[in-house]
Amino acid sequence: MSNFQEFCTKLKAALEVDFADEQASVNWLKREVKELPAPGILLDIEQLDIGEDEGDGRLPLECSFAAFCILSICTSNYELAIKGFAAKVIALLRHNSFGMETVSIPVNLFAEGVDFTPGKSGYICWAVTWQQTVYVGEDIWTGDGIIPSEVKFGYTPDVGADNEADYEPL
């Protein structure tokens, strides 16, 4: 699962760099939220599914992510500021596989206002959600070996080494 863990680390690091000027805290969501960071982004993996199989032996893990963008209502013009905050997250995610060949670009990228203030008032939150496929494991087609330069076929029962001369090119 190292591809998956590497992706999660790179996602968090990219958000930290992109939101450094805002002094935003970026963390993975813990089920018992004691304090909300403001400004902050709480990342969550909401669902894991099997994605489209590439036929290369890797597990296509289709991940549904959420980035909860949080601001204090003491923020100047907070109603508009939170939308800009979420838009900046979308801009970072759009077309971004974080330099990993084992990760697809995000799809179904979406943001909306949510009620995410567990027992806390004085905050406003928008959630950015998206799906991204992370291919976990080793590609069985990489490495040493002979790369075919020509593909031929034969019809049963005239197949096998004794019939190679009768094979037709594809």
pLDDT at 113: 94
Whole-angstrom CA distances from 78 to 2, 20, 67, 123 are 39, 19, 18, 9
DSSP assignment of 52-91:
---SSS-EEEEEEEEEEEEEETTSTTHHHHHHHHHHHHHH
Query: Is the Cα dihedral 161, 162, 163, 164 positive or negative?
Result: positive
Containing structural domain, residue 101: 2-169
Q: Distance (Å, rounded) from C-alpha 111 to C-alpha 86?
A: 7
Judged against a pLDDT cut of 70, whether residue 96 lies above it is answered with yes
Which domain CATH number covers 93?
3.30.2000.10
Question: How many domains is the chain built from?
Answer: 1
Quick one: average pLDDT of 28-38? 81
Q: Express as a percent the part of the chain with pLDDT over 70.
A: 94
This prediction has a pTM of: 0.81
Q: Distance (Å, rounded) from C-alpha 54 to C-alpha 57?
A: 8
Judged against a pLDDT cut of 70, whether residue 117 lies above it is answered with no
Q: pLDDT tens, 123-152?
A: 999 999 999 999 998 888 876 767 777 888
